[in-house]
Amino acid sequence: MSGFVEVKNLTKIFPNGTKALDSLNLSIEQGEFFALLGPSGCGKTTLLRTIGGLEQVTDGEIYIDNTEVTYVEPGDRNIAMVFQDYALYPHMSVEENIGYPLKVRKIEKGLRAERILTAAQALQIQNLMDRKPSQISGGQQQRVAVARAMATRPNLYLFDEPLSNLDARLRLEARTFLKQLQRELGVTTILVTHDQSESLALADRMAVMELGTIRQLGSPAEFFHRPANLFVASFIGSTPMNLLDGKIVNGMVHVGDSHINVPFATKSASEGQNVVLGVRPEYVSVSSPQSGGFTGVVKVLENLGTHYLVSIDCNGLLVRGTVPDGEEPTPGSIISLLPDPKRTLLYDKKSGDLI
């Protein structure tokens, strides 16, 4: 047993027959910030809830800190969870909310007050102690929910989309704060999110899930640079990756009318194989027409602030690239987009896997 949290052959079938988890294996290291990412219905929340003991498993085992907890009550797992809706009790003050789990665990009053204060200070909400949840802002409510989790001093934090209910600006602030807090506490944390940027920004390691299984596991950098399959490739990245159907002919990738060199990283491309060429818009450069790559008419320019997202039409094929602010081409002009061969990926058309 190596990981702090070990999930072995975990299967969860709901009474209505839905298979939410399909003999899933996962190992999470001590002190790690681990993110579970995926579209809705992929099983990420179910996985989190089974680790927390809120859902009964159908088959498989769960270990936390080298102890089997598969059938242990949630209250005996020494964990804390933060929910998307924060789950603050409207009839209790902020102080009572933070202290409630401690009260349930019969922690003596003096120690309880001390722990409430420590947690409140860490989250800078000590001046809100007498307020009711309805009298504070969404961002403050989120901090109270985190403080309540922190005050119990758990071995493991489970975060179920804790940032989703915040507005965009506050979410970025809370994200930085959460990462800093997790570093300081050093407690193993599992985060569930459907927002790929949140996952990339926060996690030490992450997993992308689909239909109850893990499609890829690794560091955020690995996810961004080398998505293991087309599903992950289309899911990760704030501007979607170019995914273009092609075929290997004479040692080149033929995509539409364009002939592209086989990428450096590709290990096993065989002649005549149907492939999908993947390149992020960030990794293409603009050059004059007919200098190789994809040549086409500039259709759309989208302002991303420091960059422009350029979409060109090469005989019905839509290719996107980013160019720095100030160097953007004029719409209607003809340009070429050159994929960086070091950053280009090839996927097998049939299996969808990276080759």
Binding residues for another protein, per CB under 8 A?
15, 52-54, 73-77, 79-81, 83-85, 87, 89-91, 100-101, 104-105, 148, 152
Least distance in Å: CB of 296 to another protein? 50
Least distance in Å: CB of 101 to another protein? 3
Measured from the CB atom, the residue of 67 and 180 that comes closer to another protein is: 67
Helix (H, G, I), strand (E, B) or coil at 122: helix
Measured from the CB atom, the residue of 132 and 205 that comes closer to another protein is: 132
Helix (H, G, I), strand (E, B) or coil at 45: helix
Q: Which two tokens stand for residue 142?
A: 């989120």
Least distance in Å: CB of 81 to another protein? 5
Distance CA 133, CA 109 (A): 22
**CB-count exposure of residue 66 (10 Å: 0-12, 13-18, 19+):** exposed
Q: Could you tell me if 276 and 347 are in contact, meaning their C-beta atoms sit under 8 angstroms apart?
A: yes
Least distance in Å: CB of 91 to another protein? 4
Distance CA 318, CA 266 (A): 23
Measured from the CB atom, the residue of 13 and 269 that comes closer to another protein is: 13
Least distance in Å: CB of 48 to another protein? 12
Measured from the CB atom, the residue of 103 and 183 that comes closer to another protein is: 103
Distance CA 265, CA 327 (A): 29
Distance CA 27, CA 97 (A): 32
Exposure b/e, 296-309, CB count within 10 A at least 16 = b: bebeeeeeeeebbb
Measured from the CB atom, the residue of 81 and 125 that comes closer to another protein is: 81
